[in-house]
Every structure is written in C-alpha cells, then in structure tokens.
Amino acid sequence: MSGLLDGKQLIVTGVISEKSIAYSVARLAQEQGARIVLTAYGRRSLVERMARRLPEAAPVVDLDVTDEDQLASLADRVGGHLDGVDGVLHSIAHAPVSCLDGGFLSAPWQDVASAVHTSTYSLKALAVAATPLLRPKASLVALDFDAARTWPGYDWMGVAKAGLEACGRYLARELGPRGVRVNLVAAGPLRTLAARGIGADGEAFEKQWASDAPLGWDAGDAEPVARTCLALLSNWLPATTGEIIHADGGRHIVG
C-alpha cells in the first residue's frame, strides 16, 4: 500500500535519533505522502540533524510540554509551516533517575510529579495546544508500554504510563464529539535512548520478550511499531478511539 497518508499534515514529537520510534514514524509518514513538523526539547540542533536525514527535510519547532507559554504559542508556530493538522504523535516521556531502577519506594514527590507532568499530563496539554489546528477526523497517537503489569526497573514510569492510558481514554471521550480520535500504541522493548535510562538487564529482557512473544520480537527494529502508528494516523480506522493497540509481537497475551 502506498499513499496511506496522502494529503495529511502531522506534528511528530520525540525524534532524537534514528533508532527512536518517532523517527520511524516521521520517515514512513513522509514516504506515505504526509507533510510533517517535528518538535524539539532542549536539543534542537540534534533534532534538526535528524530532520535533514528524513526523505524530505522537515521544519522543527521548539516544544517543552511543561512550559505553558510554549504550549500556548504552538499552534501559531506550527501554523507557519502547516495550514492544518490531521495527526499528532505523542512520543514524550521522562522520569528523574530517582524514579527508576528500584527507586519506587524512595523517589521524592517532586521527582514523581515531574515524571507524571512530562509523561502523562503532557498528552492532554499537547492535545489542547494543537486543537486550533486540528482538522475534522484528526488522530492523536501516543506511545505506551503496557501498564497493566509491573516491569523491572520501570517503577514510577510504569505508574505514569498507567496514567497516560487513562488520559487517552478521557481525551477520546472529550474530543470524540469534534471527530478527533485518540489512541495509544503499546510497543515492545526497543533499543532507544529512553530505554537506556532503565538500569535493568535490557539484553536479557529483550531475549525473554522475543522468546515469549508468539510472533517473536526484534528490539532493534522500530518499524513495526511505527507502521501501527501510521495505521492509526490514517483514515483506515475511523471508528477506533480510546484504544490501546499492542505492537509487541503478542507478548501481552502470554501468561
């Protein structure tokens, strides 16, 4: 299938390296006919370098999802490049070191609050910031890691992801009357920069995941997850909202 996103205009957050899910989404989206704008937080030159590696160089705008001024001006700044938005990829998550790798009982509230603000509340904040540009039948997609169970080293980020899943459902209810869909994609473990922040034995975790998943799993390949995101950003799932779609090789069904 080609031209899946012909005529679509997207905001893609979270592009940091070529291994990031967001980069794969941006690349595939362009290959499928979309125009995109990338957002950058703190490392604009890095994001701009990634933007130049895409099939077509993409504009970059600054966005700190915890900064009310930047959120308030996002629509105007993106509007300088796009005359409307059909889809938004939320690929934003961060937790202080104290909140990960065995810090669940000792992490102070201010660090937990930071993790929840950045990783959970930001979905609502980004949706509201983009609303002035959202076209009818627009789609918001957020990246998730199955929060129905606990994972070694994930700690407060797991709690934040559980909140993200609930936030997605409430957003779907609130934005549905405007024709806007909101869904999450729960990926399996991938070798991204974000994954390096967890001190658990990543290689052993990946091997176990690949062994358990009925379809197997390649932690070095983000494209299957990106393709799932593209399907949700397209017009092919017009009646699907408030869902968590797993792109994890089927690991979540295994006891």
Which residue type is seen at 132? P
Catalytic residue among 124, 154, 170, 207, which? Answer: 154
Q: What is the pLDDT, as a whole number, of residue 254?
A: 94
Annotation marks residue 41 as catalytic: no
DSSP 8-state class, residue 71: H
How many CB atoms lie under 10 A from the CB of residue 159? Answer: 20
Q: Which residues pair with 244 in a beta bridge?
A: 184
Which of 251, 190, 249, 197 has its CA nearest to residue 24? 190
| pTM of the full structure | 0.95
Tokens of 18: 């070529």
Catalytic residue among 8, 23, 124, 161, which? Answer: 161
The answer to whether the CB of 182 falls within 8 A of the CB of 175 is: yes
Annotation marks residue 121 as catalytic: no
Output the CA–CA distances (angstroms, integers) from residue 136 to 7, 86, 241, in the order listed: 13, 8, 14
Q: What is the pLDDT, as a whole number, of residue 255?
A: 82
Ramachandran assignment for 82, one of left (phi > 0), alpha (psi -120 to 50 degrees), beta (any other) = beta
Mean pLDDT by 10 residues, the chain (255 residues): 91 96 98 98 93 97 98 98 98 96 96 98 98 97 95 94 98 98 97 64 86 96 97 98 98 92
Rounded to whole angstroms, the Cα distance separating 71 from 57 reads 24
